[in-house]
Amino acid sequence: MKVKVINRSSNPLPEYATDLAAGLDVRANNSEPIVLKPLGRAIVPTGLFLEIPAGCEVQVRPRSGLAAKKGVTVLNAPGTIDADYRGEVCVILVNLSADDFVVERGERIAQLVLARHERLEWEVADTLASSVRGEGGFGSTGTK
């Protein structure tokens, strides 16, 4: 599916790292290094502006390597970029490690995934159909 993009950064367009990857690696477009202190967060610009087709969203997801190796992840994962948003794509990063992390310009900071979605219509009801799980909440299905 084609998505229109304006790239106002000096970075290449986001790319898939492998032929079967679901997410495109997106890069930071900060003018100065951003120091993320432990438990610190920052909104990191990408220089990208998208025109996403109706019925779709672009999800902003963490990069597993950055999370595993450095403890840095996307705070609101997955973030959603709506089809009617035309501003710059930015990524909210958080440092969950005990060490400072420096975001350098051009660094791969997140993944973008295009996803189709449905719009729901509410059907107000007094009862719901029963199910095996019923009202069992968090942890109710066990740890098998």
pLDDT in tens, 4-34: 999 999 999 999 999 999 999 999 999 999 9
C-alpha R_g of the chain: 19
Contact assessment for residue 74 and residue 54, using Cβ atoms and an 8 Å cutoff: no
pTM of full prediction above 0.85:
yes
Q: What mean pLDDT do residues 85-108 have?
A: 98
**Predicted local distance difference test score (pLDDT) of residue 96:** 98
**Predicted local distance difference test score (pLDDT) of residue 143:** 61
Q: List Cα–Cα distances, 56 to 41, 53, 70, 117, in angstroms.
A: 28, 6, 31, 6
Which tokens hold the place of 66?
């950055």
What do you get for the CA distance between the two ends of the chain, in Å?
A: 39
Domains delineated in the chain: 4-116 (2.70.40.10)
Question: pLDDT confidence of 94, banded at 50, 70, 90?
Answer: very high
